[in-house]
Structure 1
Amino acid sequence: MQDFRYLGDDRRAELEKYEFMMGEARGRLAASLDCLTDALIMVGQHGVYCTSNRNPTVPALDLQGVMVNLNGAKELVSAVMERMRAEREAAEKQ
């Protein structure tokens, strides 16, 4: 496995587990999805304390932008994983 220097030891172990269970490509996507989910959780928690000056019931505008982009990235990764699964199942049926 390549050295992913920005991953901590716990993430590397998780990545190895996913790669073993799902194969290299799908495993890496699954580990990426977990990282994106954790980032969304952290941004969401920060949004509770960093609210908009105009509307204190919503997160600051910059945090809203980050959350939109993280959610979009999660949707893209999920779509790729689903397509790979469907292609694998179609190939197995032939």
Structure 2
Amino acid sequence: MSGRPLTGLNHRALAMLRAVADGRAELSCSREPDLFIDGVPCCDQFTAHGLAHDGLIEHAYTGTLGQRVPAAATPAGLAAIEPIAA
């Protein structure tokens, strides 16, 4: 974990998490996984790396170096995008 507070996720990070949860995203298999949404490289790879390093998104399965595999939201990632109960 990078130490950034989960409550500090901005709108872009939350939108990226929603795309992953909707099954529209892939991650490259590397130390710094790049995020692709709808087949297009995400414009904010810094945030994508943060989401991965903070344990909010992960590879759906292990691939070979450089391969793109489906991205999956972790339980913590899903909790971050859940609507707040009133």
Give the number of the structure whose alpha-carbon radius of gyration is greater. 1
For this structure pair, what is the TM-score category when the shorter chain's length is used for normalisation?
under 0.3
Higher helix share: 1
Could you state the TM-score of these two structures normalised by the residue count of structure 1? 0.24
